[in-house]
Amino acid sequence: MNNDDLGNRIARTVIDEFNNLNIKSGKPTTRSNGVIEWTVLASIVALMNGEIIPITLATGVKVLPNKVRNYSNGLMVHDMHAEILSLRLFNLFLLEEVQKSDSKLVKKNNDIFQLRNDIKLALFVTEPPCGDASMTYLSNNLESNDPWESNRSESTFNRGRNNFDQLGVVRTKPGRSDSLISYSKSCSDKLCLKQLTGICNAITSTLFDPIFLNFLVVKDVTEQDFYRCFIDRFPTDHQLELLKYDFDLFEYGKSNIKEPSPLSLLYICPSKTVQVLNNGVKNGSFIRNKPPKPGGESIICNQSLAKNLPLPIDARTYEEFKRSNVERELLKAKGQTILQNWKHSDVDDFII
């Protein structure tokens, strides 16, 4: 079977899984005023013995402003783009798997956990990842209602779609120019870096050997954008491979007559773990300018993930814990140096 077929098979499997989800809320809806909502769907799938096994499903297009980090206390999920949520969910899935004695996907080798050797991982997304990989796609879709700016002198980093003529550069997530500032990097840039660091986060990387994505499954990315974004500017030993699919069965896709859904649906397929987020917290638990109501934090916020680590944490704060993994920090710094102009968000720390 060639890889074109594989892209289509993965797309079909993920979209079927999403459509068959029997849940009360979380999918885009038509509002009472007639406005139809759109979203992006992303999924990490495991490929094993010819089988396609969806692990995560996540939707979302929002990002919280940088200032939320002053009070979030590790309880809020700042980046709710579907790809990034899928990666966070995959880390929670890994924490679920290490508790099992009969995991199909994870094995223990001496003291370290590993993904089984015969598994490959693909990230499926219904839109090209925002940032550098989507530049041609965006310029072909000028009906986009997000404003474009060009102001080269403003800064050394590119906010959203500023300086649209510059290719191969780090960008923050696109947003309306009147929205509060976020320094969250585009999904293209974050995914690019994961070709070096792997997709385990600060927490799971203390348990697992590095795990890498093998494939990116998308429809509208040009080969030129893909190679510039992921390969030319960032040579590593674990390069993503592009798998295209060529049909559209996702009924909630982007369109200029629709509005973005404020909600994110999180779903771990093997365990049927589900949660709906709004403003970075459990839907219904948001309080303006404050952390969520008690118990209203997400299952994938940093505090929740840290609590799920089945090891004692020898650090006073989350930042201290993160920085104690020197090897991982050095890899991240190396990748950020290669990509250049990596503007950091403020720290969101908490006491462990």
Residues marked as catalytic: 83
Distance CA 115, CA 89 (A): 16
Q: Which is nearer to Zn ion, 115 or 192 (CB)?
A: 192
73: left (phi over 0), alpha (psi -120 to 50) or beta: left
Q: How far is the CB of 144 from Zn ion (least distance, A)?
A: 14
Residue 171 interacts with Zn ion (CB under 5 A)?
Answer: no
Residue 133 in contact with Zn ion, rule: CB under 5 A: no
Residue 191 binding Zn ion, by CB under 5 A: no
Q: For residues 23 and 264, is the Cβ–Cβ distance under 8 A?
A: no
Contact 39, 252 (CB under 8 A): yes
Rounded CA separation 227/235 (Å): 10
> Shortest CA distance to 114 belongs to which of 98, 92, 100?
98
In this structure, what token pair is assigned to residue 14?
A: 């993920």
- Find the shortest distance in angstroms from Cβ 137 to Zn ion: 12
Rank residues 69 and 171 by Cβ distance to Zn ion and give the closer one.
Answer: 171
Our CB check for Zn ion shows the closer of 130 and 263 to be 130
Question: What is the Cα–Cα distance from 242 to 247, expressed in whole angstroms?
Answer: 16
Return the residues of window 229-288 that contact Zn ion according to CB under 5 A: none
Instruction: Kindly determine how many residues on this chain lie close enough to bind Zn ion according to the rule CB under 5 A.
Output: 3
Distance CA(211)–CA(205), nearest Å, equals: 9
User: Taking CB under 5 A as the rule, does residue 161 contact Zn ion?
Assistant: no
x/- string (CB under 5 A) for Zn ion, residues 52-91? -----------------------------x----------
Shortest Å, Cβ 52 to Zn ion: 24
Rg (CA), the chain: 19
Among 130, 135, 221, 299, binds Zn ion (CB under 5 A): 130
Contact with Zn ion (CB under 5 A): which of 187, 202, 242, 243? 187
Give the residues lining the site for Zn ion (CB under 5 A).
81, 130, 187
